[in-house]
Chains A and B, each alone.
Chain A
């Protein structure tokens, strides 16, 4: 009885230790292999449908295109990049489900290309908890504040910076009595607060300010309050739909017919002109961040984008941003080599835009330079990619006005 139990115990122990050994080996073996040749997984999370749908498909194509470009050089640090794409539907709810799927099912190690601020803010807690970096094209200043671990990189100007550009443009055009109207969310209020800060710092005054709720059947009361202060320009933090209704109601009211409007480019686009007609659109100054158009990297990107999609790169400023996400991620990965853990790559991102580094304009150039032991400064297709302490970039801005039936660039504002 005792003998039998003893032998059972021994057998159990032997079997158990064998099992532990097998599990331990199984755990280490693929880990070692991963450092060598398994693909590095990128989760592309773009607004393919919903309000971001004019931009999302192009952003997604630019990510795949850039990953192909990296892979054609033989990959990074011995690893190929592999892209898995999901649609945010420009909705935080859908984006949260999508990002969980990308991380938990597809094993994505970096998330790239969220567009609207609401989506980015909803996705960030999940990527942060997973220890995964998040690269976005959103504007809300709150994103910088929420990014506690320096794992979030913004390839678009903040709304605050947009506001500063508005102030520069208002000064350039000689406006004296600006008023502001903001959509009640982080992006809209970020724009007008950025403007107000910059404008009042230069000694100016804002004559009236309104924050409005979206999706109203009318904005006449809001307009009435703004126009009562007799402004010469209204600076907007808005989206396309509310802007369409507000400008139409202003025109129909017949009040202050000489008033002009400074509006961010995502709201003041071709669709707005189509909706309002050229007579109303004549009073609009559209301000948008622009790509790094004079850089060789932009020419390189634009040619590849045209070939891949059949559309001009100038039609989608966000595509250049997502392209740069993959290229700078690849270069950072090369700089961090042989450690290709997401955190190590994240820590190397600032090293590839060091001001005193060798300027490089493509992934192939950068990879060769890093392998030769040089520090590099990647000049992006979307902007110079100089990340500030929050991981935000500072692109140039364009000032466009209507000519015929479309917006035409009249000026470029640099910081």
Chain B
């Protein structure tokens, strides 16, 4: 196989990795600030995908789908912050984590019950790919990557350029000191859940555009997103994004050697290797200056 073949594989990996990265960013935000691994992230993605479906049905096209999906997921996560996670914040992280597992089951079962298990698709026109050098680039993939990149830019902008972002980073760094400095932790939490929900919702819509919408779709993406989070150091947003891309590219580039049924295993092998060599994750040093 020639260079073009590998370049295309790597490109596929970047597209898949963009979706993992959004999920990982959502997980890492929750972990950094609310301090528990949110197992419902995958199913919040599914909520976003269904929300996006409603957006296109109302005639909004891709933009309508993204707006509706992001709004649906953000609404769900904020609602569950008020109903569930706020009350559990004083308990140990395990309580919140177990609650999030329950929430995941609840969301999936509710979607299955009300929407059925038949697949649904986004009613968007199909377009052919164009050749960019050796790369075969599909318009849909460009949209996926552009949307992911825009979301990442907005997230980093919020975290680093706005007052609320600064407060979020302060809470992530040292909750007690932040409270002592007069930061309203409640408002920080609401903004954080809005962002985490919006990112997961966007991931869901993008996945739905590429594949089909079913109640199980987000659940299937939870493990790679968690792997990306751990790979890039838990709680580190830059690490989450790079971790997602790395896992995506590693999986696709491995296929000529291990075949297609084992490429998922490669993602986890990379993770395992990392945990043995550098258990704190790739970007642990950056975490200190979050």
Contacts and interface: CB of A to CB of B under 8 A. Distances in A.
Contacts of A217: 16, 19, 207, 210-211, 221
A241 B212 contact: yes
A7 B130 CA distance: 103
Given A252-B140, A254-B129, A275 B263 contact: no
Interface string B210-227: 111010110011000000
B94 interface: no
Contacts of B116: 53
B16 A252 contact: no
Interface stretch (B85-93, B118-126, B145-153, B159-167): B118-126
A241 B214 contact: yes
A271 B214 CA distance: 14
Interface in B211-269: 211-212, 214, 216-217, 220-221, 252, 255, 259-261, 263-264
Contacts of B211: 216-218, 241, 244-245
A36 B58 CA distance: 64
A221 B9 contact: yes
B138 A253 contact: yes
Q: Bin the interface of chain B by size.
A: 35 or more
B220 A218 contact: no
A211 B16 contact: no
Interface stretch (A96-104, A222-230, A304-312): A222-230
Nearest to B20: A217
Contacts of B16: 217-218
Contact of B259 (A211, A251, A253): A211
A222 B260 contact: yes
B56 interface: no
Contacts of B1: 228
A50 interface: yes
A255 B136 contact: yes
A253 B221 contact: no
B277 interface: no
A213 interface: yes
A31 interface: no
A271 B8 contact: no
A245 B129 contact: no
Contact of A218 (B15, B139, B259): B15
A409 interface: no
Contact of B127 (A212, A252, A274, A277): A252
Contacts of B278: none
Q: Bin the interface of chain A by size.
A: 35 or more
A221 B130 CA distance: 17
A218 B140 CA distance: 12
Nearest to B17: A217
A367 to B, nearest CB: 40
A211 B261 contact: yes
Contact of A184 (B127, B128, B212, B261): B261
A245 B138 contact: no
B128 A252 contact: yes
B251 to A, nearest CB: 9
Contact of B117 (A51, A249, A274): A51
Contacts of B118: 53-54, 271
B80 interface: no
A279 B138 CA distance: 18
B260 A210 contact: yes
A374 B214 CA distance: 53
B221 A221 contact: no
B15 A244 contact: no
A49 interface: yes
B138 A252 contact: yes
Interface string A271-302: 10011110110000000000000000000000
Contact of B5 (A224, A241, A274): A224
Contacts of A244: 119, 121, 211-212
Given A211-B261, A254-B136, 4 more contacts: A244-B119, A252-B129, A253-B138, A275-B121
Interface of A: 49-51, 53-54, 184, 210-213, 215-218, 220-222, 224-225, 228, 240-241, 244-245, 248-249, 251-255, 271, 274-277, 279-280
6 contacts: A53-B117, A54-B118, A213-B264, A217-B207, A275-B212, A280-B126
- Ranked 7 nearest A-B pairs via Cβ: A254-B128, A215-B220, A275-B121, A220-B12, A252-B138, A254-B129, A245-B211
